[in-house]
Amino acid sequence: DTLLTGYTSAQMKGCYANEAMIWNTILQTNLLYEKDPELLREFITDGPKTTILGEASPGNIGQFCGWQIVKKWIAANETVTLEQLLQKDAQTLFQEVKYKPR
């Protein structure tokens, strides 16, 4: 996981332990469908942290959330090829997966 994300082991553990809080923060701050890159910058770019989530959170936390959504969808659609996944409309995939971490 650390090789894919660039996070340290401690950051990965923190992301998994706080996955629901991270997701709830994205929802509560209305960032899920935000298109303004300035508002999304900390969530989608490398950096030392995601300020709204605290000092211990890694930057680019949107990568982690997106990865969890795709992993959940793949687990429910094990026979799908990578090519089929890449052709899948993101909004449809998101609606199908019903991502809601606990």
Q: What is the pLDDT of residues 60-94, one digit of tens each?
A: 999 999 999 999 999 999 999 999 999 999 999 99
In total, how many domains does the chain have? 1
CA atoms 19, 13, 56, 35: torsion sign: negative
CA 23 – CA 32 distance, rounded (Å): 9
Q: How confident is the model at residue 2, as a pLDDT?
A: 87
Q: What percent of the chain has pLDDT over 90?
A: 80
Is 102 part of a structural domain of the chain? no
Q: Which two tokens stand for residue 46?
A: 């490398």
pTM confidence score? 0.88
Is 72 part of a structural domain of the chain? yes
Is 51 part of a structural domain of the chain? yes
Is 16 part of a structural domain of the chain? yes
Q: How confident is the model at residue 56, as a pLDDT?
A: 87
Mean local confidence (pLDDT), 3-28: 93
Q: At 58, is the secondary structure helix, strand, or coil?
A: coil
**Bridge partners, 50 (sequence order):** 54
CA 47 – CA 45 distance, rounded (Å): 6
